[in-house]
Chains A and B, each alone.
Chain A
């Protein structure tokens, strides 16, 4: 019993614990070095870009850097009445520098986004400055106020002050069809301009139903795969995996050939007299097309985790269930099904997360009523070049996925996931 309290020494007289740690340290360093390249790769290609995206989505530093003195002097302004002479003076001096650098146009653009009408009055001020009409020995406030009546309007100065912080949530609000109004309150845009919220809802809806369809179709296939003799299950497995080995674009294009109004499926329907020649249903460029194509493309992601879980369930369990008096349904529902839940969780999570960010397929077969939020992101990346807005939406998507993951963890437990 005394050995429990006594320190054990190695033959060299070093305490065993220390000696063990020394020996272990080498292994730890080795292990770390082995994963280091991957860790570095992840940081560079994943964590860093996400951080970059985040800063871009909230970045509003441009104007902060354009009007440094103005914002400094505005700090003491209460924002209720017109600001003091000092503010006007520092604004003018900031403005002059911008004129020299020919950046006053950018300022006008940015301010106009905050409040309509800045374009005109900035241009007017520019002309006055260009002609050196402003006498700096006199009251600058009076002179600027004479340039345009809007410079006498306190709301415009409030708008300038609102742009002072280097960060903004405007992009996130915009993605939810909202904005900050003059009183700094979150307001919804007018109803006819609410497009993003529809897209968000549609994205979640499509992802949800694609997951449901994949589950309904994938479960029996996975079961068959897991129970068939090797000879047949390999063949079936190849059929399931075949879509994996075909280019996504080719698969989507083939769905277009099948589903379009003059396409194979419609021709067949007409041929067997299911629909009239002049009444061919539209199966593409709407949600139907998106559902069909995405379900087919994402099916393997449901089948594989299910299969790997079902493979481990001994067939004698179902037999035991039956021999103990359970009907085949009871044996399935009480014994087999609960054991497949880890696979169902993994498959559904995988399909849902992939579906929620799906891009090419909805872009090609979705049409107007079948496009998703990812198409909107791509649109802003490529067409409007509003990258910060695209970043904001991308991050919201990521946030949504994380929330789902968290919910899943709460409900089922991530430890229960089995991917293979």
Chain B
């Protein structure tokens, strides 16, 4: 899918300096600039109240930007009402029309576009088979399970071949197993038809599995926009590091800095870190280390070697989580794969822990 993308419009959807305020006092979206390529699956991820849903609503046309402009395929759309934008949308609680059958629900966007009857039949058929719900045409939404309703909602948003589909936390109401299988299903549908998807969620796991790119929102701003792996491995600030995945942090002050390594002085101790957003000596910083990057009794040579006391051991099936008291941080988490069982993980034991300075990212202070 990516190979087609080179020729495609990289500014298919464009937020240009968009501000949004509801009450004239607080900006819920601040100076948002965001380009979405054609055919891309982009996720807006963030805690509630971070402005991600507002952005989606502005794109759908249910809210107008207070300032700035949104472009769809290079056309400004701020003054186009929702029904003329041709954007499909999947709502949080499906918003299926309860008085219509599945067929009528899917036919609705086609009927308002005055599509011929046999054409409607064909498209509804195709859309239903895409979400593997063929044969459910005459059911009422209330007769379907949550997952089936969700799939109908997806089919309805896609049936009229929109250029962009918006999804507003569509899987929030499903249970965990169903949510995971729906994630793959939606991802595969996207790969098959190549529609541009803008997806809003507060579930980072969902975002990481499904998206081409993720925009992490906080405080009305995009904190980082990058691919899932980069987002996880290379967070640009401490909010992103904290929000995505698990994270061990140390607060401290830079005492020495070179091109790709810096010395950070902690309350009790000193570590080497990778300078990301620190520039000079004396900068305050938060150092972030992913749990799986720190190893117990490392065999290879590592430039950070510390000793910690085991505070807690939690069995997780495929791995064991170990909480350490390390350099004054009592919440230092380690993930130990359960295949390496020769370790002596007992409460109160002192163990050696090591990590590379490359993986310890010195970010902005919290």
Cβ of B269: which chain A residues have Cβ within 8 Å of it? Answer: none
Chain A positions 312-345 with a Cβ under 8 Å from a chain B Cβ: 314, 316-317, 319-328, 330-331, 334-335, 338-339
* Contact A314 to B99, CB < 8 A, known contacts A321-B108, A323-B87, A325-B109: no
Cβ of A334: which chain B residues have Cβ within 8 Å of it? Answer: 97, 108
Chain B positions 135-158 with a Cβ under 8 Å from a chain A Cβ: 156-157
**Which residues from chain B sit less than 8 Å from chain A, CB to CB?**
60-62, 81-89, 91-93, 95-99, 108-109, 112-113, 156-157, 160, 166
- Report yes or no: B109 in contact with A335, Cβ–Cβ below 8 A: no
Chain A positions 276-332 with a Cβ under 8 Å from a chain B Cβ: 314, 316-317, 319-328, 330-331
Cβ of B160: which chain A residues have Cβ within 8 Å of it? Answer: 324-325
- Report yes or no: B88 in contact with A338, Cβ–Cβ below 8 A: no
How many CB-defined contacts (below 8 Å) exist between A and B?
A: 69
Centre residue among A319, A320, A327, A331 by max chain B CB count within 10 A: A320
- Report yes or no: A323 in contact with B108, Cβ–Cβ below 8 A: no
* Contact A317 to B95, CB < 8 A, known contacts A325-B109, A326-B108: yes
Distance between Cα atoms of A325 and B81 in the complex (Å) = 10
* Contact A316 to B92, CB < 8 A, known contacts A324-B156, A324-B160, A339-B99: yes
Chain A positions 383-415 with a Cβ under 8 Å from a chain B Cβ: none
Query: Which 7 A-B pairs have CB atoms at the shortest separation, nearest pair first?
Result: A324-B109, A320-B95, A323-B89, A316-B95, A322-B82, A316-B91, A326-B112
Q: A319-B82, A323-B61, A324-B112 are in contact. List 16 more A-B contacts (CB 8 A).
A: A316-B91, A317-B95, A320-B97, A321-B97, A322-B62, A323-B60, A323-B87, A323-B88, A323-B166, A324-B83, A325-B83, A325-B112, A326-B112, A330-B83, A331-B83, A334-B97
Distance between Cα atoms of A314 and B173 in the complex (Å) = 15
Distance between Cα atoms of A321 and B96 in the complex (Å) = 9
- Report yes or no: A322 in contact with B91, Cβ–Cβ below 8 A: no
**Distance to closest chain B CB from A297 (angstroms):** 32
- Report yes or no: B95 in contact with A314, Cβ–Cβ below 8 A: yes
Cβ of B109: which chain A residues have Cβ within 8 Å of it? Answer: 324-326
Centre residue among B62, B84, B160 by max chain A CB count within 10 A: B62
**Distance to closest chain B CB from A266 (angstroms):** 46
**Distance to closest chain A CB from B79 (angstroms):** 15
Centre residue among B61, B87, B92, B108 by max chain A CB count within 10 A: B108
- Report yes or no: A324 in contact with B93, Cβ–Cβ below 8 A: no
Cβ of A314: which chain B residues have Cβ within 8 Å of it? Answer: 93, 95
Cβ of B89: which chain A residues have Cβ within 8 Å of it? Answer: 319-320, 323-324
**Which residues from chain A sit less than 8 Å from chain B, CB to CB?**
314, 316-317, 319-328, 330-331, 334-335, 338-339
What are 22 A-B interface contacts by the 8 Å CB criterion? A314-B93, A316-B91, A316-B92, A316-B93, A316-B95, A320-B89, A320-B96, A322-B82, A323-B87, A323-B88, A324-B88, A324-B89, A325-B112, A325-B113, A325-B160, A326-B112, A327-B83, A331-B83, A334-B97, A335-B97, A339-B98, A339-B99
Centre residue among A314, A319, A330, A335 by max chain B CB count within 10 A: A319
Distance between Cα atoms of A316 and B92 in the complex (Å) = 9
- Report yes or no: A326 in contact with B83, Cβ–Cβ below 8 A: yes
Cβ of B95: which chain A residues have Cβ within 8 Å of it? Answer: 314, 316-317, 319-320
Which residue from chain B places its CB closest to the CB of A330 in the assembled complex?
Answer: B112
Cβ of B112: which chain A residues have Cβ within 8 Å of it? Answer: 324-327, 330
Cβ of A322: which chain B residues have Cβ within 8 Å of it? Answer: 61-62, 81-83
Cβ of B99: which chain A residues have Cβ within 8 Å of it? Answer: 338-339
**Distance to closest chain A CB from B85 (angstroms):** 8
- Report yes or no: A325 in contact with B86, Cβ–Cβ below 8 A: yes
Centre residue among B61, B93, B112 by max chain A CB count within 10 A: B112
Distance between Cα atoms of A317 and B98 in the complex (Å) = 9
Cβ of A327: which chain B residues have Cβ within 8 Å of it? Answer: 83, 112
Cβ of A330: which chain B residues have Cβ within 8 Å of it? Answer: 83, 112
Which residue from chain A places its CB closest to the CB of B60 in the assembled complex?
Answer: A323
Cβ of A325: which chain B residues have Cβ within 8 Å of it? Answer: 83-84, 86, 109, 112-113, 160
**Distance to closest chain B CB from A308 (angstroms):** 16
**Distance to closest chain B CB from A184 (angstroms):** 54
Distance between Cα atoms of A322 and B91 in the complex (Å) = 12
Which residue from chain A places its CB closest to the CB of B92 in the assembled complex?
Answer: A316
Centre residue among B82, B87, B89 by max chain A CB count within 10 A: B82
Distance between Cα atoms of A331 and B81 in the complex (Å) = 13
Distance between Cα atoms of A325 and B110 in the complex (Å) = 8
Q: Which residue from A319, A324, A335 sits with its C-beta under 8 Å from B62?
A: A319
**Distance to closest chain A CB from B52 (angstroms):** 17
Distance between Cα atoms of A319 and B89 in the complex (Å) = 9
- Report yes or no: B97 in contact with A317, Cβ–Cβ below 8 A: yes
Which residue from chain A places its CB closest to the CB of B106 in the assembled complex?
Answer: A324
Cβ of B88: which chain A residues have Cβ within 8 Å of it? Answer: 323-324
Cβ of B157: which chain A residues have Cβ within 8 Å of it? Answer: 324
Q: Which residue from B85, B86, B91, B113 sits with its C-beta under 8 Å from A320?
A: B91
